[in-house]
Structures are given as C-alpha cells and as structure tokens.
Amino acid sequence: MIDIILKSNVTKRVIKSTYTGQQLLEMNEEEIVDEMTKCDCKPIGETNTVECNCYEEWQDYTLIVGNENNYNNIED
C-alpha cells in the first residue's frame, strides 16, 4: 500500500489515504484528488437545487505520494 496525503492550500485541511500501486497506475492526479475529496451535497428543500462549494477548497492543493509523505515538510 502507498500512502497519499492531500492538503488544501486554501483551508489547510489534510486528508490521508492509501492506494495500491495498481490503483495509482490506473489513475491520474486529478482522479486521485477527486476521489479523496468526494463531496456529498444534498438538494435543498423541495427545489432539488444542489448548491455545493466543497470543490473550491481543493482548487489549490499539495499532493504527496509514497516515501515523500513526511508531513513535516508541507509548508503552511
């Protein structure tokens, strides 16, 4: 298993996950970030309108894969 750390440069929130080597070979960076930051937005009221801003948090991020996972090296 390979450790992945994703840090939002907007909110400083950190998400940690693990993937197999095969999974990482089959995914690109954008797919990894999308999977790690899945948003669970629900419709508001009876309008079925979904207002979700959680993707804005992850427009600017730092992604660290594998042996580079020394969290102390991530600058605030």
Q: Do 69 and 14 touch, CB atoms closer than 8 A?
A: no
Beta bridge partners of 17: 4
Between the alpha carbon of residue 27 and those of residues 17, 30, 44, 50, the distances in Å are: 14, 8, 33, 28
User: pTM, whole model, 2 decimals?
Assistant: 0.72
Q: Do 5 and 74 touch, CB atoms closer than 8 A?
A: yes
Between the alpha carbon of residue 6 and those of residues 42, 43, 44, 45, 75, the distances in Å are: 24, 27, 29, 33, 13
Ranges of each domain in the chain:
2-66
Residue by residue, pLDDT tens for the chain (76 residues) are 999 999 999 999 999 999 999 999 999 999 999 999 988 777 666 766 666 777 788 999 999 998 754 555 555 5
